[in-house]
Amino acid sequence: MSDQEQNPSVMKIAVFLYPFTMAAVAVNLYMLSLAWQRIGLPVLSPAISVLISLVLCLPANWLAARWVRRLLDEAAD
């Protein structure tokens, strides 16, 4: 088996991690909206937080996938 078959690409890792990253971003966004209620801003509903996280999680997901790829490369060496 070649190295290419054993080591998944960053894109494959990103596709696998997307639901987990989106959930983490949604929870953090909702918690942030609870904190900003203190200064008078409205609280986001959980559904709105999930919808916003669909877009906001793209850069976070890419960074997480790169981090996992780097860990896999480091473990292989």
Q: Around Cβ 22, how many Cβ atoms within 10 Å?
A: 19
Let me know if residue 30 belongs to a domain.
yes
Burial 43-74 (b: 16+ CB within 10 A, else e): ebeeeebbebbeebbeebbbebbeebbeeeee
Structure tokens at 54: 């669909």
**pLDDT range class, residue 73, cuts 50, 70, 90:** very high
Please name the residue that has the structure tokens 């490369």: 73
Q: Is the pTM of this model over 0.95?
A: no
Whether residue 3 lies inside any domain: the answer is no
- Name the band, by pLDDT with cuts 50, 70 and 90, for residue 1: very low
Neighbours of 27 (CB within 10 A): 14
**Residue pLDDT, tens place only, 14-42:** 999 999 999 999 999 999 999 999 999 99
Range of the domain at 14: 8-76
DSSP H or E stretch at residue 12: helix 10-36
Q: How many structural domains compose the chain?
A: 1
